[in-house]
Amino acid sequence: MFKKILKLTACVVGLILLIILTVILKKPNDTVTGHVLEPDVIEHVPTTASSDANILSRAFDHPFPIRSGIPFSGTVESVRSDGKTARLLTLKYPDCVMRCVMPAQAAPLLLQPGLTVTDLRTQSLGRYTVLSMPVIYAKDNDRLCFYFSDDSAAYCLYAENTTFDSFRQIAGSFTWR
């Protein structure tokens, strides 16, 4: 009888040790409040500065809006957004700045403080788009901005000291690279 109790106790202790060992060696479950975290799919890239669209295109690795025939300077850099790597492209033209970020979930990196968002549908202008994407319009005393995005990236176009009509013309001069 004593041997049976000893064997049963040894089995229970062995099972408990196996459970504890399994829990200790188990990989952490990458979940936060029940949602599975996506892996960091965008690789870190070194900062690239150039006025050559081909170099910037290779570094950004996603189509982006560009103005043909107008000189610009540009940079592509890796930044962190919500703990993940994002790629930020900045194109500086004489009359505006285009900023693009990938993935689109990193769009808050494009926001600039002090701008008031206006829904263009409430104005007599009707719905306005840039490169066939609906825009959100933001402004302050001397800055204008269009925010727009697709499934993969988010974009914003800034200009200072210009009229809304001139800004719309600038926005209309962009094509995809």
List the chain pLDDT tens, one digit each, 177 residues: 767 777 767 665 555 655 664 656 655 444 444 334 345 567 888 899 999 999 999 999 999 999 989 999 999 999 988 888 999 999 999 999 999 999 999 988 888 777 777 654 444 445 677 777 778 888 888 888 888 889 899 999 999 999 988 998 999 899 988
Q: How many CB atoms lie within 10 A of CB 148?
A: 21
Write the CA distances from 9 to 6, 22, 23, 92, 172, integer angstroms.
5, 20, 21, 74, 79
Q: How many CB atoms lie within 10 A of CB 87?
A: 22
Nearest Cα neighbor of 153 from 104, 81, 89 is 104
Residue 23's pLDDT is what? 57
- DSSP β-bridge partners for residue 136: 147
**How far apart are alpha carbons 98 and 6 in whole angstroms?**
75
| Dihedral pair phi/psi, residue 142, rounded to 5° | -130, 5
**How far apart are alpha carbons 43 and 123 in whole angstroms?**
41
